[in-house]
Chain A
């Protein structure tokens, strides 16, 4: 009924399709489907994550309109901003030690963060999926070697790798693209193995299915079988890894900036760089240079993580809390993934409460320790 992907510990049920075939494409889209089927806290977490992510995307897209000043602007008209000015009407969040407007730099900082996510994820999904597909489909010694390589790279500290790549790309003094690409390339070295492992595990399972055999019998070539039949059935867990990798991407770029290997202040806003400059401010009690860029990182990462975690927990039958209903109580069929019931049994919050007799009768008494 369900399968365990050993490498990730993720559990994917697959005896029944997640949503019946006749539902519209929109309702079957990864995140949309989960919002519709989740309940309670899990749903709130997912929705908060989506909202935070949308806000981040909005800020990144409209930074020039939202930011009061440019990221490298030191004066307005003929008046210099001045360094370390506390928050005021002109500078809502004050100015930095370098004399930049904190609010503006925080808003502009969303752009490189967004770019690094796109670059890293596109690079690693493309390579990881293709290699995983081919490796899993053909097997053999190439497959085994690739698995060993993936295992080796899996545990590599991505930040340390990012430092090495930053040196190579820019000699340490980064333009916006230099900093972004350094983070993106090193991240993809660590992230490709993740996509590889997940896709490969799925491909190994799918290629034994009857429809692949049938395709082979009617004379389809390996490329066609992989592209049309195997790939489409092997991408289910990708949205989940993708969202978790987005947070890793933002954190690595910020870490790189914090170590002084990020983007130069005249090239773009960079949260990590701003935080590294605020280190000495904090000692003298100046909070406004550190807190805004830091909060920006936290909220961005939080948004992606909440979405990712929710997708993960909703995909894990051990953790899923479902809407309970009379139907669910009567027939186990509705308890399969995607089985959405409409009414609730009075006094029963979820199907899980119906599962163990002690839960049903003691009303969780034993757990109140």
Chain B
């Protein structure tokens, strides 16, 4: 079986500074793959490049057989790659429901869209209760739910989540992580970038540790969870 996403020797630079220095990894359909690492390791840059917001300076990315480098961001979504960005970036002056509808911008199957909106409300009941409210009035955790729900509205083959637990209360963080586990159980393919390494590794089939633009360690989520150097560096143990 060929991988859904194949990243090969990807290099991304901001001006002269290389933020991603040649990384390679794959994501298979049905898998949860996580990238962990400290701030500035290049995780967010990697996701922004995959979704087309940044242009790589080198390397290849193949998604579902298509070379992504040739396409602009708005085209890449239509291939089935959805990106829930770091910092959530919901549309603050639009209602929750309109935010979800924008997630389905490229779809024209009205009944399917209504069904998926309902599905998002089932997944996150609080969003259903507040559907007519401006999204900017939601709490951070609720905005995160909306950002995830919105990304799912495009019926993606691969869902990329960038720091879904950032800035959330412990309870909210648990809730978000439980939802990701639920999505995984439903068979959603997920590429997860997380600072909460413990939670991310427990969920992940494959995991990669990034340090200053490079992948320094790869393995199954469970292996890395028990790896001594990972425990020291990212799980706060001595």
Q: Do A and B come from one complex?
A: no
Question: Could you tell me which A residues sit within 8 Å of B by CB distance?
Answer: none
Question: Could you tell me which B residues sit within 8 Å of A by CB distance?
Answer: none
